[in-house]
Amino acid sequence: MAKNTPSPFLPSTRREFFQLGGKGIGLLAFSRFAPAFLVNSTLAAAPAPEKDRSILVIVQLAGGNDGLNTLVPFEDADYYRLRPTLGIPKDKVLALSDTLGLHPSCAALQGLVHDGKLAIVQNVGYPNPNRSHFRSTEIWETGSDSNEFVDTGWIGRYMDNACAGSPADDAHDPLAVHINTLNGVPESFASSQEHPTYGMLAYGGGRKDSEETRKLLEKVADDAPKDDDGPSSYLRHTLMDALVTEKKVQSVLAAYKPSATYAGNAFATSLRNVAGLIASGLPTRVYFVTLNGFDTHVNQITQQANLLTQLSEGLAAFQKDLEAHGLADQVATMTFSEFGRRPSENESHGTDHGTAAPLFVMGSRVKGGLHGTAPSLHIEHNQDITYTTDFRSVYATMLDTWLGSPSERILAGKFNDLPLFAAPSVPAASS
Amino acid sequence: MMKLSVAPQDAWQPLPPGDWNADAARHLLRRSGWTARPADVERAVSEGLSATIDRLFPASPTLFPEPAMVANFAEAAPAYVQRIRTAPPEDRRLLQREQRERAQATLTNMTVRWMQFASQAENSAIEKWVLFLSDIYVVSFEKVYNPPLIFKHFDILARHALGPAPELTKAVSRSPAMMIYLDLNQNQKKAPNENFARELFELFLLGEGNYTEADIKQAARAFTGYRTRPAFGDVILVDNQHDDGEKTVFGETGNYNGDDVIDAAYRQPAAGAFLPHEMVKFYLSDTMLPRDYLYGLGSAWSSEGEYSLRWLARRFFASRIFFAPEFRGEFIKSPVQFYLGLLQDLSLDVAPVPRFIVGPLRQMGQILYQPPNVRGWVGGRNWINSATLAARRTMTESAFTAIDEDALNADEQVEIVAARLNGADRFTVSDQSLRSFAGMTPEAAVSHFTSILLAKPPMPAFTAALSDFIAQGPAEPAQRMHRLRRAIATLLEAPEYQLC
């Protein structure tokens, strides 16, 4: 299926595991060759991450994207009342319906809506919104209530629930990959059990160290104590995983030939790398990519236009690339941002921290168009909008319908699934 | 939760003199600075703990001098701004782009100069302390885009680094870079901008949960009217933009200005414990100390210490809890510490070629003057992922690879020549510098390097793997030297060396 996949599972990597002293490497590392009954019993009821499974790509719009100027209510007089200078004139808006349309920089996204490949969930947020970047990001990434503090992320709990003991978990192929994130591993990935994850910079990058040092390093790194969860143990695990994965990832990306033109910016390059890794058949189920800079307190117009251009063109290239490689049915991409911005513009041609905002879900199996309801702007100056769709309903949909892992255990509660997918993921989430 | 060997009431008592030894000195030097060179350890042991801390945190530290390129940029800025303003529209864009490029180059130069300055052992502790303060009072070049203002911000931090904390906070509220970064410059009477007031309470002084949204709104009014002209770097208070009505902050009401709000914040019990909390995170451990430890130090700092930063540094670095065995060798080095510590450990000089400095720091996850956001760098395990570990290894490899000077461009060669004239000419590890170790037995050489480079003794299998590697192979000197170099590089790339 992946046409230009350069030998996705390098046998040399497998052999190395033996050389490393067999740490954590059993028969299951070779699940593709293991008897089916053995693999199945280990997996119990949880669908395992392996190639051909559904994949979720999360795009973080860091800083708080202004939802009102992303999905513009161009027939709403209140919108123009609250946004005397930042309001986008009706004739510039890329209409999606009689009342709503996209920011002028989102032409490519408008095309995806028309093709039925882009869903827009309106007015997503949570009760008692917090306006601190960090706290609100934490709430989104952990999937918690705004007054509860949770130390695992929603993807981390997904891995705990669905992936523990799976072949990929043993084989050190990453279950989740993050590219170009702000602070290393995203909090979304924090889990109770340990799972292989992998992080890289947008532009990848080769290294010049010698084979010799790597082999010696593998030897000394494997000799450290194994029984604690202190920083030393953390470092050693990260290094060992990295040594193996790095070799594989670099060869995959170097050989990847995208079938779409990506812009040269870090965000588009990150998506190109995601496409390359998906095409290689890695068992990774979740990718996390960040586009930063949405904290537009001042001079929002140019800044947001530039960022939305990157987002729109990056996502469209990614979708086109996946389609050309016959992978589009396998992948859904969703965006999130820690909050929207305040409906009233400030005096600096910007907007301050707000609450709910729309988010995008893209994919060939997505039910395109508008979902949920638009926020009411019948509000006072400097008042915030009230969310109408809880962000955990989006997560629940991704978990139940797309990734095929019951959301109730992962989200600590029942959130209603949304009809975001026209068809279930491939293969159907069987258990 | 980590089990602590010191009770809260004893935690901040000074380390008993009998516990001051070479291991303790190494711990102090590595945590307060970049690393612990054998000669510095020896000196610290003989001088004693108290004298060593006094020396590391002197009453009047040497300040990082303003780089000439930064001064030139500042001098030319008003004229450039004027030129851009009066240019015909078709030229304006080009001039603006030139100015941005000039700003970027100047910042890069400042990064190089600072790395050179901070790499000097006598400046290390104080510059790390300034870096610590800058990780609280965060500004980013990405928004400010003005190197002289970034320099000035760090200069403000350095000048107030060991003085009274409220004076530092007040000075920061008048730092043009901060005023731009958190939109204080846009804060006006009829439309208060809350950005600065919010971060003042959340990230500079108190922490989340110790103030209300109403406190922020009222405080924002007190900070109205602060204005700076970026090209000049001056600060004025514009009376007709300042809201001089009554404000209620933390339940106190008055006709407050910004300084009054800062004073009011320092009267909150949370203020005493906030900086100790940040110090623990930056200097001591990934695992936060329990609240009673933090408030123990916090209340002593506000009463007995009168919010003196020098008092706080001295109390913290001399304390029993700072030296507790559970913290030794268990802290992940930041990229800057890794970089400068590596150079000091290998007796190398900073090679003043921008791309040798800025590139590796970026890859390792710490771009100086450009923290990821207003919270600064999170640190600890967040420094480490497969990408940043790979970058640390690349950095190590370049310390063992001679610079191909013919491949440098002209500017870079000029920098290298200038550094040489100043006597800083050891940029990479030479065979010469390792000659005395090549003659030792492999075991002796490895034992020497692990003892000076690692914060904790490694597992026997670790040392055995390295000495076996040196021993096995042709005995011919060049080959043996090659294996010694590979062994040291591996030691530096190992997980153990990432810890201090």
B386/A236 touch (CB, cutoff 8 Å), yes or no? no
Handedness of CA B352, B356, B359, B361 (dihedral sign): negative
pLDDT at B406 over 80: no
Number of inter-chain CB pairs under 8 A, A vs B: 149
Pick from B186, B390, B466: CB nearest A242: B390
For residue B330, which residues of chain A lie inside 8 Å, CB to CB? Answer: 230-232
From B87's Cα to the closest Cα of chain A, the distance in A is 21
Mark which residues 369-428 of A lie under 8 Å from B by CB: none
Element (H, E) at A172: none
Q: What single DSSP character describes residue B347?
A: T
As a whole number of angstroms, the distance between CA A377 and CA A166 comes to: 48
pLDDT of residue B393: 87
As a whole number of angstroms, the distance between CA A309 and CA A85 comes to: 21
Spatial contact of A361 and A420, defined as CB atoms under 8 Å apart: yes
As a whole number of angstroms, the distance between CA A170 and CA A163 comes to: 10
As a whole number of angstroms, the distance between CA B372 and CA A153 comes to: 20
pLDDT of residue A225: 60
Domains: count for chain A: 1
Rg of the Cα atoms in chain A = 22
Q: Give the chain B residue whose CA is nearest to the CA of A214.
A: B490
**Burial of B8 per CB tally in 10 Å (0-12, 13-18, 19+):** middle
CB atoms within 10 A of CB B355: 12
pLDDT of residue A21: 25
A11 located within any domain: no
What CATH number did the domain enclosing A192 receive?
A: 3.40.720
From B209's Cα to the closest Cα of chain A, the distance in A is 11
pLDDT at B192 over 70: yes
Complete DSSP assignment for A209-220: --HHHHHHHHHH
B7 located within any domain: no
Which of helix, strand or coil describes residue A84? coil
For residue B213, which residues of chain A lie inside 8 Å, CB to CB? Answer: 131
Q: What are the tokens at B398?
A: 């370049």
End-to-end CA distance of chain B: 20
**Burial of B409 per CB tally in 10 Å (0-12, 13-18, 19+):** exposed
Q: Is A46 on the interface with B (CB under 8 A)?
A: no
For residue B375, which residues of chain A lie inside 8 Å, CB to CB? Answer: 133-134
Spatial contact of B297 and B283, defined as CB atoms under 8 Å apart: no
As a whole number of angstroms, the distance between CA A56 and CA A331 comes to: 6
* Structural domain boundaries, residue B446: 430-500
**How much of chain B, in percent, has pLDDT values that exceed 90?**
83
A148 located within any domain: yes
A242/B397 touch (CB, cutoff 8 Å), yes or no? no
Which of helix, strand or coil describes residue A357? strand
B212 located within any domain: no
pLDDT tens, N- to C-terminus, chain A (431 residues)? 333 322 222 222 222 222 222 222 222 222 222 223 223 323 333 344 445 689 999 999 998 999 999 999 999 999 999 999 999 999 999 999 999 999 999 999 999 999 999 999 999 999 999 888 778 998 999 999 988 878 789 999 999 998 766 555 546 688 999 888 766 678 899 888 878 888 777 776 444 445 677 778 888 887 656 557 789 888 998 888 778 877 788 889 989 999 999 999 989 999 999 999 999 999 999 999 999 889 888 889 999 999 999 999 999 999 999 999 999 999 999 999 999 999 999 988 999 999 999 999 999 999 999 999 999 999 999 899 999 999 999 999 999 999 999 999 999 889 999 999 986 555 444 33
Q: Is A20 on the interface with B (CB under 8 A)?
A: no
From A271's Cα to the closest Cα of chain B, the distance in A is 17
Closest CA to A155 of A399, A414, A404, A391: A399
Which of helix, strand or coil describes residue A76? coil
pLDDT of residue B407: 67
B404 located within any domain: no
Spatial contact of B220 and B255, defined as CB atoms under 8 Å apart: no
pLDDT of residue B169: 98
A65 located within any domain: yes
pLDDT of residue A52: 65
Range in A1-10, A277-286, B92-101, B397-406 with the lowest mean pLDDT: A1-10
From B194's Cα to the closest Cα of chain A, the distance in A is 8
Higher pLDDT, A34 or B458: B458
B277 located within any domain: no
Q: What single DSSP character describes residue B282?
A: I
Which of A179, A188, A234, A235 should one mutate to test binding to chain B, selecting the residue with the greatest count of B CBs within 10 A? A235
As a whole number of angstroms, the distance between CA B241 and CA B36 comes to: 52
Q: Is B1 on the interface with A (CB under 8 A)?
A: no
As a whole number of angstroms, the distance between CA B247 and CA B245 comes to: 6
Pick from A134, A213, A232: CB nearest B499: A232
Pick from B330, B331, B493: CB nearest A217: B493
Residues B135, B136, B141, B142, Cα dihedral to 10°? 100
pTM of the model: 0.74
Q: Give the chain A residue whose CA is nearest to the CA of B191.
A: A347
Closest CA to A10 of A272, A285, A278, A252: A252
Spatial contact of A373 and A125, defined as CB atoms under 8 Å apart: no
Q: Is B207 on the interface with A (CB under 8 A)?
A: no
Q: What are the tokens at B474?
A: 């042709």
Length of chain B: 500
Q: How far is CA B398 from CA A225, B311, B348, B351, in A?
A: 29, 40, 12, 11
Which of A60, A216, A240 should one mutate to test binding to chain B, selecting the residue with the greatest count of B CBs within 10 A? A216
Q: Is B378 on the interface with A (CB under 8 A)?
A: yes
pLDDT at B63 over 70: yes
Q: How far is CA B366 from CA A330, B107, B124, B362, B363, in A?
A: 36, 15, 18, 5, 8
Within B48-138, where are the H helices? Answer: 49-56, 68-86, 89-119, 121-134
B186/A63 touch (CB, cutoff 8 Å), yes or no? no
Q: Is B50 on the interface with A (CB under 8 A)?
A: no
B214 located within any domain: no
From B488's Cα to the closest Cα of chain A, the distance in A is 10
Q: Each residue of A116-146: b (16+ CB within 10 Å) or e?
A: ebbbbbbbbbbeebbbbbbbbbbbbbbbbee
Q: Is B498 on the interface with A (CB under 8 A)?
A: yes
Please name the amino acid found at residue A295. D
B439 located within any domain: yes
Which of helix, strand or coil describes residue B393? helix
pLDDT of residue B214: 95
Complete DSSP assignment for A109-152: HHHHHHTT-EEEEEEEE-SS----HHHHHHHHHHT--TT---SS
Question: Dihedrals φ, ψ of B373, to 5°?
Answer: -170, -170
pLDDT of residue A132: 80
Which of B284, B385, B468 should one mutate to test binding to chain A, selecting the residue with the greatest count of A CBs within 10 A? B385
A297/B394 touch (CB, cutoff 8 Å), yes or no? no
Q: Is B337 on the interface with A (CB under 8 A)?
A: no
pLDDT of residue B404: 77
Please name the amino acid found at residue A333. T
pLDDT of residue B362: 83
Spatial contact of A205 and A233, defined as CB atoms under 8 Å apart: no
A235/B384 touch (CB, cutoff 8 Å), yes or no? yes
Q: What are the tokens at B339?
A: 């970089």
* Structural domain boundaries, residue A279: 52-208+253-411
Question: Dihedrals φ, ψ of B107, to 5°?
Answer: -65, -40
Q: How far is CA A315 from CA A320, A361, B169, in A?
A: 9, 10, 43
Please state whether B211 falls in left (phi above 0), alpha (psi between -120 and 50) or beta.
Answer: beta
Spatial contact of B94 and B155, defined as CB atoms under 8 Å apart: no
Domains: count for chain B: 1
Range in B122-136, B181-195, B316-330 with the lowest mean pLDDT: B181-195
Closest CA to A316 of A179, A178, A115: A115
Q: Is B80 on the interface with A (CB under 8 A)?
A: no
Half-sphere exposure of A422 (CA within 13 A, CB side): 14
Length of chain A: 431
Secondary-structure percent of chain A, ordered helix, strand, coil, rounded to 5: 40, 15, 50
For residue range B337-380, list pLDDT tens digits in order: 999 999 999 999 999 988 789 878 987 889 999 998 899 998 99
Q: Give the chain B residue whose CA is nearest to the CA of A180.
A: B387
A241/B198 touch (CB, cutoff 8 Å), yes or no? no
Strand order in the sheet with A71-73: A71-73, A100-102, A94-95
Average model confidence (pLDDT) for chain B? 94
pLDDT at B99 over 60: yes
Spatial contact of B162 and B310, defined as CB atoms under 8 Å apart: yes
pLDDT of residue A211: 60
Half-sphere exposure of B191 (CA within 13 A, CB side): 15
B438 located within any domain: yes
Q: Is A216 on the interface with B (CB under 8 A)?
A: yes
As a whole number of angstroms, the distance between CA B169 and CA B163 comes to: 11
B490/A132 touch (CB, cutoff 8 Å), yes or no? no
A213 located within any domain: no
